[in-house]
Structure 1
Amino acid sequence: MNIQSQFNSIINYAKEKGYLRANPLADIKNMGIKDKRVEFWTPEEYEKFAYHAMEYPMYYYSYEILYWCGLRQGEMLALTLEDIDLKQGIISVTKTLANVNGKEIISTPKTPSSVRKVSMPRFLVDEIEEYIGLLPEPEREGRIFKSSKSTLNKNFKSITEEAGLKRITVHGLRHSHVSLLISKKYDIFEVSKRIGHKSVKTTQDIYGHLFDDVQKSIANDLDKLRRGA
């Protein structure tokens, strides 16, 4: 977690406790280096990882949500049964698990745009329903993924090495999801909305270079259209 995220988590926690009326950092742009190349896996690489991850059910299902829905790690770990609508196939992102001074707390997402509804592919709905069925005594308001961020990261690293894949972070699954959407030529506005960015500009700043190949693909498609291929 970077410094800005830590500040946001602390201030959101103070806001929930009534110490602050609003988050004064909400309108501050993301700090850090722009246009930094993000690390991600191709769909083939992720499927290889997922195959090895099946040996660890709780982790496997959590990775599936991260990759196929693009949630942030804290958003996924904060999920409860109340957040998952299996009938509609929707995950409601309303909170996040943050680490503040070595203590894990549940707080509101760092920006209002992070609060969103994410549609799941049908196979993932079936998988999550299967996972919920494995829980001994599921509680409506209790976290369904009991892992901490540190243990999730350790498991992720271990499986990555076991599968012989290039190393990325758990957050790289979110990058991988965005890369997949971009490769399918989805509109940047819809991509930005799905992953909970504050603005399309944020998405452009982080993933803009991934659209280069899409532009080439569009040009090739137009060429084929003109030539009647």
Structure 2
Amino acid sequence: MKIEKLPSGSYRIRKMYKGQMYTVVFDEKPTQKEALQAISEKLDSVPPASTIPTTFQSACDEFFRIKGNVLSPSTKNGYMSIFRNLSDEFKSLRLSDIKQTDIQKEINDYSVSRSPKTTANANGFILSVMETFRPDAVFHITLPQKEKKEPYIPTSGEVKLILEKATGTKYYIPLLLACCGLRRSEILALELSDLSDDNILTINKAMVVGSDKQWHIKSTKTTNSSRKIIIPEFVADMIRAQGYIYKGSANQIYENLQKYQNELGIQNFKLHALRHYFATMMSQTMSEEDVMKMGGWSTPHVMKAVYRHSTIDRDKEKQKNAMNGLFKNLS
């Protein structure tokens, strides 16, 4: 089997199978054994000819059938929503005839009334379907530029006011746990048995809405999300005294958080912003790696934004003190 070196420095192997050319690209030159194994795995993923759908719509139906059990409920729900909103014209295209220009046009039209992030998700879905049934095809789609938006991080004063408002309500414990870095889905899935006698909270599941519009318990967002954290003793004691974490709808937590903010006259922010607050405060005394572990982050993207936010605040304080010192000498 011929191993070709590409101008980019990568290596490529190709094989014709049942009238289709299949390609595997490597970053480094593979051995003959590695090349054979890779192309065999590629061919094993090709559906039998009798099951290859004829249109993009039938491809989507088959995609959901064969991957329904491995997609998370939230991912499947999102994909099905995207599918419903694609144009009938695109859905009716023959799968074998779909070109890059067809996908680009559909994405252009889809983006008119939707955010760059939603559009990128739609593109990801379309390419996932195409890769499943036309693994030899490669598409390069231009997406709308995403707006760079820094995560809002509430101040300690704002968080304190919110917690004071929630004291004595069923929302107090969920808000405290959000301040400990937990996601809403993780809080909703917690049970009393997840709390140990030494105040260690085991986070290994999440509650999310599935494609059937019902709430389901599933594993955490990523393997990094599963973790054990020590929570403050007073929070643990309140949970034990109450006998449960939270009973109520997910929306009620956010609705009451917004109500507290409006009553206090402070900026509206989502429950997830308390997770950013947790990262900000922890980053002042702990390493990035330790904060990521406590919060269950798998990538440092959010952490980088948090550290940048903290650095800007520290720089502002330094500049303020320097300016005050300068003019103190002039007065």
Q: Flag whether TM exceeds 0.5 (same fold).
A: yes
Q: Counterparts of 1:2-41 in structure 2 under 5 Å?
A: 8-10=72-74, 36-41=149-154
**Which residue is equivalent to 2:164?**
51
CA contact (8 A) 2:76 2:210 kept: no
- Distance (Å, rounded) in 1 between the aligned partners of 2:189 and 2:76: 15
Write out per-residue CA displacement over residues 10-44 of structure 1, whole angstroms, 9 at most, x where no aligned residue. Answer: 4699xxxxxxxxxxx9xxxxxx9586311121112
Write out per-residue CA displacement over residues 40-80 of structure 1, whole angstroms, 9 at most, x where no aligned residue. Answer: 21112111111111142x1011101111x100011011110
Unaligned runs of 5+ in 1: 1-6, 14-24, 26-31, 139-143, 221-229
**Which residue is equivalent to 1:21?**
none
Give how far 1:166 is off. 0.9
CA contact (8 A) 1:73 1:171 kept: yes
CA contact (8 A) 2:204 2:227 kept: yes
User: Which of 221, 225, 242 is 1:134 aligned to?
Assistant: 242
CA contact (8 A) 2:185 2:207 kept: yes
Partner SS, residue 167 of structure 1 = coil
Partner SS, residue 117 of structure 1 = strand
- Distance (Å, rounded) in 1 between the aligned partners of 2:219 and 2:195: 17
**Which residue is equivalent to 1:226?**
none
User: Which of 194, 199, 206 is 1:89 aligned to?
Assistant: 199
The 1:211–1:48 alpha-carbon spacing in structure 2 relative to 1, beyond 3 Å, is closer
CA contact (8 A) 1:66 1:174 kept: yes
- Distance (Å, rounded) in 2 between the aligned partners of 1:70 and 1:180: 11
- Distance (Å, rounded) in 2 between the aligned partners of 1:169 and 1:89: 27
Larger Rg: 2
Give how far 1:153 is off. 1.2
Give how far 1:130 is off. 2.5
CA contact (8 A) 1:94 1:115 kept: yes
Partner SS, residue 92 of structure 1 = strand
Partner SS, residue 191 of structure 1 = helix
Structure 1 position 155 matched with structure 2 position 256: yes
Q: Counterparts of 1:189-208 in structure 2 under 5 Å?
A: 189-199=289-299, 201-208=300-307
Give how far 1:185 is off. 3.6
Give how far 1:173 is off. 1.0
Paired residues in the alignment total 181
User: Which of 45, 65, 68 is 2:177 aligned to?
Assistant: 65
Give how far 1:210 is off. 2.1
AA in 2 matched with 1:127? V
- Distance (Å, rounded) in 1 between the aligned partners of 2:176 and 2:278: 10
Q: When the two structures are superposed, what TM-score results if normalisation uses the length of structure 1?
A: 0.69
Give how far 1:93 is off. 0.4
Structure 1 position 188 matched with structure 2 position 288: yes
Give how far 1:146 is off. 1.6
Structure 1 position 177 matched with structure 2 position 290: no
Structure with the greater relative contact order (CA < 8 A, sep ≥ 6): 1 or 2?
1
CA contact (8 A) 2:199 2:236 kept: no
Structure 1 position 116 matched with structure 2 position 227: yes
Unaligned runs of 5+ in 2: 1-70, 78-127, 129-144, 320-331
User: Which of 153, 160, 167 is 2:268 aligned to?
Assistant: 167
- Distance (Å, rounded) in 1 between the aligned partners of 2:234 and 2:303: 33
The 1:48–1:211 alpha-carbon spacing in structure 2 relative to 1, beyond 3 Å, is closer
Give how far 1:127 is off. 3.1
Give how far 1:213 is off. 3.7
The 1:33–1:106 alpha-carbon spacing in structure 2 relative to 1, beyond 3 Å, is farther
